[in-house]
Each structure stands twice: as structure tokens, then as C-alpha cells.
Amino acid sequence: MPSTSLTLRPLPSCKATALQESNFAEGPGNTGPSLFPPLRRPMHLYIHVPFCHRICPYCAFFKHTPGRSDIRGYAQAIGAEARLRLPQGAAPRTIYFGGGTPSMLSPTHLDILVNGLRDWLDLSHVEEWSFESNPATFTTAKVQQWRSLGINRVSLGVQSFDAGLLKLLGREHSPEDVAGSVQMLREAGIPQVNIDLMFSLPGQSLQQWEHSLRAAIGLHPDHISTYNLSYEEDTEFFHHYGATAGSEEADVAMFTLADELLTAAGYRHYEISNYARPGCESRHNLACWHGEDYCGLGPGAVGTMNGIRYCNDGNTAAYTQALQQGLLPPGTAEQLDPATRRTELLGLLLRTDEGLPSSLLRPQDAGFIRMLQSEGLATLAADGRLILSRAGRLVADEIAVGLI
């Protein structure tokens, strides 16, 4: 079946260890020492915005309605965390605002957050600045502000072009709203627009999925993501449907249909769940898939830098309070050993059309690779890269296990 269970953003699971982050910044007003030594490699930023107007029944990311949250305090805390995690003048190559719903931030709060980053970091070298949003939740004035800040890629959480399925998913927009949102982004000069879609939804037919794919193609986005919905614990869908509501046959049919329609429309299927016009691939995601360092900021955010993986607790009030006191937020961290790094890279790169570099393959893998080739599941490029075929991508997780 399509191995599309990885999450929308590269936020690896947190593993609790004895390396508690609050030990690394002591006392109110202290801006160091940082948990991390000076960066050795290109760096990327992920900002988690946990606020949502309503909680979708399928979403497992840390999120909550604003309630009485101190959103101004949260926005200020992001800059404070950057000061504790990164050396002054660090220059990220990409920035990704995920959530939650980043477009919920008011212009004032977004300005506070971005200015806090600019006061400490050098944002003049950012190549790609992505911002997640929901259709029909923003105005022309908001989009113009996003563009003026430097945001050059907006990802729309469309999920479906079927009104009944949108209601099931708890989405607040209609299928008709999507075209207006795309037009608004284009008229404001946003260079790249992504549309997120989901398949294997409860009760979804192949015809409904085809309608969504064709509707998305008709809006000419630069990038389309197609996610096989997984039913995560602690979500309403999991409690209602269990681990899955679909079938392996339906998953295969929907994955194959997406591949056929989107590649025929000129999109490069560069990762199992992602399609892009040439040159419009997500640079942020590509960097994370290739193991480059990324700094996660915000409650519930995860980051990996210099071989250390950390995870902030999903508690917005505790996050804000700690940073107001000059402390890193509560969370956990772990040192990644070479075997863990290889396993992660193998699982991520195997999903891409670039494939696995020969450096990740071992002599003992030769027999397994010959079997993959003989069954039409993979090919070896001239430089030794192992690249999965369409059939191979359908069983990517199983192949990864065989190489681990």
C-alpha cells in the first residue's frame, strides 16, 4: 500500500531522555549558554503556531483554540527562544511556519514575531519562506503583509474539493472558496502556491478523489501534496474509526491515480506525497529529508542541530512563561547516534525520486537490492543510487525495513 504515513512537516517523534533542556539556560534574563554549539552546516527554521479556530478531528499536531492564550506573549517568546538556541547573526536558508493555523496570527502579532527573529538572526539569505494557511481565512491586506515580510510560498490546507468530505473533516471553507484564495495569493504577488489534499478519507470514493485532483490541477498551483490520511491516537478519527477506515486496495488505487494525473499534468513526483512544477519543490522539506540541521521554535516544535534532537513540550502557557524568565522551554532532547541517523535518512530519502546514495548502502544489502531489481521495485543509477519505481513506492516502508 502507499507508504505515505510521514507527517506534513518534518517533525520527528520526541524521545524522552535525561537531557532536560532547562538545565542549559539558568536564571531570568540569561540569553545563554545555548544548548547547541556554533552551527557547522546550513540551517533552517521551523516555527510552530499552535492556534486554530477549531480542532479538526484528524489532526495529531499540537494545537488548540486561542481561548485566553497570551498570543502577544507567544509571539515575543519565539524571538526569545531563537536567542537561546542560535548564535546571533545565524542565517537560515529556509523558514517554515506550520501549525495549527499560522494565518490566524493578526498582523500585529505576526510583526512582533518576525521582528523578534530579525533582531537576532540574519534573514537576508532566506531562499524560501513557507506559510501554512486555510482557504477563506485571510484577507488581501493580510496576504500583502505576508509578502512584504518576505513570505514567498503559501501552502493551502484544502484537503478536498468535496463539500461533504470537507464537513466530515471539520473544515470551515467550501470548495468554491479555494479558487478565490488562490487568486488572492497570486494577485498579492506570492510566487509559489501549494495545495494540500488528502486521500483514504472515511467513505471517500475513487471518483471523489479524482474530482479533487482535477480541481486542484485546474487552479494551476506550483506544488500539490497528496497525503494518505493516517488515524493517529488522541484524535477524534482514531477513536471513531480505529487505526484505519480504508482498505489497501483503495489506498493503492488512489495513490496510483494521483501519480498518473499529476505527472501527466507536468508535475514532478519528487517525493511519495509531493508533486511540483520544475523548480518549485519545497526547499525546506528537501533540506530536512537530506538531514540538514533545522531549528524548531514554538510549543510542540522539534528541531535537530549538530546531532541533537530536541522537542519542546506541547504547552503554550508553560512555553511562554519559561522564555519570559530567560529559560529554554520545558522539553526533552537526545543525542542521535550514527545508526539512528542512517535509519532516518534511509527512510526519508527512499521516498524521493533521487533515491538513496550509495553511501547509505552496505555490502550486505547487495542481495536484497538484486531482488528489488528483479521484481521491478527499484533500479540502480549509474552513480549507485537506489531509486524506487512506482511499484516500489507502494511498499517503501517494507523496503526501508529490509535495508535497515
Per-residue pLDDT reduced to its tens digit, 342-368? 999 999 999 999 999 999 999 999 999
Cβ 145 vs Cβ 106: under 8 Å: no
The amino acid present at 346, given as its one-letter code, is: L
The predicted-structure confidence for 96-147, as pLDDT tens digits, reads as follows 999 888 998 999 999 999 999 999 999 999 999 999 999 988 999 999 999 9
| Cell numbers linked to 84 | 537561546
Report residue 23 CA to chain centroid gap.
29
Q: What single-letter DSSP state applies at residue 364?
A: G
Q: What is the dihedral of CA 64, 65, 71, 74, to 10 degrees?
A: 0
The predicted-structure confidence for 64-82, as pLDDT tens digits, reads as follows 667 778 999 999 999 999 9
Instruction: Average the pLDDT over 218-238 and give the result.
Output: 79
Q: Kindly provide the b/e burial profile for residues 333-352, where b requires at least 16 CB atoms within 10 angstroms of the residue's own CB.
A: bbebeeeeebbbbbbbbbbb
| Cell numbers linked to 337 | 547516534
The continuous run of DSSP H or E covering 360 comes out as none
pLDDT band at 203 (very low <50, low <70, confident <90, very high): confident
Determine the pLDDT at residue 24: 35
pTM confidence score? 0.87
pLDDT exceeds 50 at position 333: yes
- With cell 494545537, the residue in question is 63
